């Protein structure tokens, strides 16, 4: 499983726009975490294939308000680098 993490300004529609970047390329999303915080929003997509993540990465980073989009290593039981256990 490959994880893609996106940090963005808190603009309405950024989540929907990010999801469209996957659906328009027929890339299935296996999991999604979303968090709204004081400094913006964080999204973490789980995908099956690394090439899909690479394909969509540049497009995600071009969405207005996105500060960073990257493929991340996530340990089991963690979301956004924090333990959920």
φ/ψ of residue 30, rounded to 5: -90, -25
Q: Using an 8 Å Cβ cutoff, are 78 and 9 in contact? A: no
Instruction: Indicate whether 63 belongs to the interface with another protein (CB under 8 A).
Output: yes
Other residues' Cβ atoms within 10 Å of the Cβ of residue 51: 11
- Member of 7, 33, 65, 79 binding another protein (CB under 8 A): 65
The residue among 78, 57, 73 whose CA lies nearest residue 6 is: 57
Instruction: With contacts defined by CB under 8 A, name the span among 8-16, 32-40, 45-53, 75-83 that binds another protein.
Output: 8-16
Instruction: Indicate whether 34 belongs to the interface with another protein (CB under 8 A).
Output: no
What's the CA gap between 46 and 55, in Å, rounded?
14
Q: How many residues bind another protein (CB under 8 A)?
A: 13
Instruction: Indicate whether 13 belongs to the interface with another protein (CB under 8 A).
Output: yes
Q: Would you tell me which residues interact with another protein (CB under 8 A)? A: 11-13, 16-17, 20, 24, 58-59, 62-65
């Amino acid at each position: 499983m490959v994880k893609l993490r996106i940090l963005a300004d808190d603009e309405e529609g950024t989540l929907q726009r990010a999801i469209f970047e996957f659906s328009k390329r027929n890339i299935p999303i296996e999991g999604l975490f979303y968090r709204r915080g004081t400094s913006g929003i964080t999204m973490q997509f789980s995908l099956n294939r690394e090439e899909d993540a690479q394909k969509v990465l540049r497009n995600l980073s071009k969405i207005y308000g996105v500060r960073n989009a990257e493929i991340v290593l996530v340990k089991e039981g963690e979301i956004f680098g924090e333990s959920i256990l």
